[in-house]
Amino acid sequence: MIPIAKPVIGEEEIAKVIEVLRSGIIVQGDRVAEFEKRFSTYIGSRHGIAVSNGTAALDIALKAIGVGEGDEVITTPFTFVATSNAILFQRSKPVFADIEEDTYNINPDDVMEKITPKTKAVVGVHLFGHPFDVRAILEICEDHKLMLIEDCAQAHGAEYNGKKVGSFGIGCFSFYATKNMTTSEGGMITCNDDDIAEKCRLLRSHGEVRKYEHVLLGHNMRMTNIQAALGLVQLEKLDWMNEKRRKKCRILREEHKC
């Protein structure tokens, strides 16, 4: 059987994971902090907040921008279920805008149609590594004072007008085993706003500001040093792995004349 997406794990990843295991510091620690720094630098965002998976990234990002009961969030129906589930977890309503015929991504004209006084945010998805129409969606968000969340779970390294996706609004990445790069399970939030970043950090770890001082209701959605060690090596390989995917895509398209 040919696997649809086999993770590329080499001896370097194995060595780095063993290093963490030998260190004894196997929970969130210095490897996570370094991964956050390197990943956010790669994306071109001020902050990176590593979390336990991509769904957690979406959940925390929505909470951090204040989406709650009774709010509406416009998104695309053509995505993995996690995008809408994260909205439902806030007791808010996912409102589906139609998709574009050529890219299958969220259609800005229909986003406009779906705005109501209850709309709080737009969650666009850069599906299959193809960025949605960022310029048009950003313009709508700015005009209507809506927050933009970019679901980048399938688009690590994808660019829109020369900038990496995840650097425009609040980026939510997944590092699940089938993604462009992996930490086994894992996720990352990228953003440029200091306050939102701080809120995300609190939400991922029981709202803890100092040891046993908890200022808000948070989860345990932390990433471990083991996962981050894997991520640090995978990040180094990301551009190469993306190029390999493109090459295989070119071969398949030529073979099937599509």
Report the catalytic residues: 179
How far is residue 195's CA from residue 91's CA, in Å, rounded to a whole number?
23
Closest approach of ligand PLP to the CB of residue 125, in Å: 5
Residue nearest to ligand PLP (CB): 54
151 binds ligand PLP (CB under 6 A): yes
Closest approach of ligand PLP to the CB of residue 203, in Å: 16
Window 175-204: contact mask with ligand PLP (x via CB under 6 A)? -x----------x-----------------
* Member of 28, 40, 45, 55 binding ligand PLP (CB under 6 A): 55
Helix axes of 54-64 and 194-204: crossing angle, nearest 10 degrees: 120
* Residues with Cβ within 8 Å of residue 157, at least 6 apart in sequence: 42, 164, 180, 238, 239, 242
Window 66-105: contact mask with ligand PLP (x via CB under 6 A)? -------------xx-xx----------------------
Stretch that binds ligand PLP, among 16-24, 50-58, 68-76, 113-121 (CB under 6 A): 50-58
Query: Rounded to whole angstroms, what are the CA distances from 234 to 64, 179, 182, 191, 241?
Result: 28, 11, 7, 21, 9
How far is residue 94's CA from residue 43's CA, in Å, rounded to a whole number?
27
Nearest to 149 by CA among 75, 204, 257: 75
Ranges within 123-142 binding ligand PLP (CB under 6 A): 125
How far is residue 207's CA from residue 194's CA, in Å, rounded to a whole number?
16
Of 125 and 203, the one with the shorter C-beta distance to ligand PLP is: 125
What is the gyration radius of the CA atoms in the chain, in angstroms?
Answer: 18
> Do 188 and 181 meet the contact criterion of CB atoms below 8 Å apart?
no
Closest approach of ligand PLP to the CB of residue 135, in Å: 21
Closest approach of ligand PLP to the CB of residue 24, in Å: 27
Q: Which residues bind ligand PLP (CB under 6 A)?
A: 53-55, 79-80, 82-83, 125, 151, 153-154, 174, 176, 187
